[in-house]
Amino acid sequence: DVKVTQSSRYLVKRTGEKVFLECVQDMDHENMFWYRQDPGLGLRLIYFSYDVKMKEKGDIPEGYSVSREKKERFSLILESASTNQTSMYLCASSFFDRSGEQYFGPGTRLTVT
């Protein structure tokens, strides 16, 4: 069974802290994605990666960075968390040639106070 896991379900951090969100997939997928989901705004792509060490900006990359050192792991980094980064963060993965068929993790609800 396809599985995407995220390191935390709930996280509370203070403004200015560095935050790491980790995502691991066990399907040998080439593509991995980070989204955030906010009421009224829907799902928005932050960053994606189509190969180890490769990354591409999505629609809202400002304030975020990513790291993909291994195929199965994709990390989202908030260098200095701000309150407007309070959100639900969803990781997803897919095969290279079936990028529309994405498998999502359970999400991390991040609150920045």
Partner 1 sequence: EDKVVQSPLSLVVHEGDTVTLNCSYEVTNFRSLLWYKQEKKAPTFLFMLTSSGIEKKSGRLSSILDKKELFSILNITATQTGDSAVYLCADGGSNYKLTFGKGTLLTVNP
Q: How far is the CB of 103 from partner 1 (least distance, A)?
A: 7
CB nearer partner 1, residue 16 or residue 54: 54
Cα–Cα distance measured from residue 82 to residue 20, given in angstroms and rounded to the nearest whole number: 14
* Contact residues for partner 1, defined by CB under 8 A: 4, 31, 33, 40-45, 48, 50, 56, 58-59, 90, 94, 98-107
Q: By the 8 A CB rule, do 112 and 13 touch?
A: yes
Q: How far is the CB of 16 from partner 1 (least distance, A)?
A: 29
Q: Do strands 4-6 and 19-25 pair parallel, antiparallel, or not at all (unpaired)?
A: antiparallel
